[in-house]
Amino acid sequence: MRVLIAAMVVLAVAGTAAHAADPRYPDWPCTQAKVPDISLAAVWAGPALDNAESKWKDDAKVSALVSKLAARKTPLDEAEKSVKEFLAGSASDKSTNAKLLFAGLFDTLNAQRSQVMSGLERVSRKQREAADKIRDETIQLQTLQGATPRDDTKVEALSNQLIWETRIFEDRRKVVRFVCEVPTTIDQRLFALGRVIQQELE
């Protein structure tokens, strides 16, 4: 009986999630609205980036710094300090370096964000398939439990399978809820670092 209740809870959760999804993005599992790309205008009010968007990778120093600043394991205050140190040490080329650095961050963090979002949608599709499977097996289990004569071996085997599948579904759901915060964290990081770069140019 407990197996059936757990399975029904999973199906109720899956149904709620499917109902709440933005119809434009049927695989998007988060309560946060899906914004596919960060707009440059939303995070950068500095000088035009010109060809910095295609040139930043050619500068080894900028590329190395972009990798460090974009990594979520680098604390934001440490990243902001590194931006200030880098731009303070390049007075003559400050404007060029600032534009290259921001272009690199914009490019890299946008790509990171897209990767996370694609992963979330991939997991969402798996969850939908898992919910369908749990639904079918729940019906099978109810049929087996009501059969005469009842095959207890089959009932136990399917019950154990449902317990396992329900647990996996729930674990994935918890991970998704946590990962749903990541695109917003990336947005905030890009905005904060962009602001520091612009302040250094003033």
What's the pLDDT band for 5 if we cut at 50, 70, 90? low
Q: For the whole model, what pTM was predicted?
A: 0.81
The per-residue pLDDT for 16 is 45
The residue among 123, 129, 118, 128 whose CA lies nearest residue 176 is: 123
User: What is the number of structural domains in the chain?
Assistant: 1
The per-residue pLDDT for 181 is 94
Q: What is the C-alpha to C-alpha distance for residues 70 and 36, in angstroms, rounded to an integer? A: 19
The per-residue pLDDT for 93 is 86
Mean pLDDT of the chain: 87
pLDDT digit string (tens) for 158-201? 999 999 999 999 999 999 999 999 999 999 999 999 999 999 88
pLDDT digit string (tens) for 6-17? 555 555 555 545
Q: 155 lies in which domain range?
A: 2-201
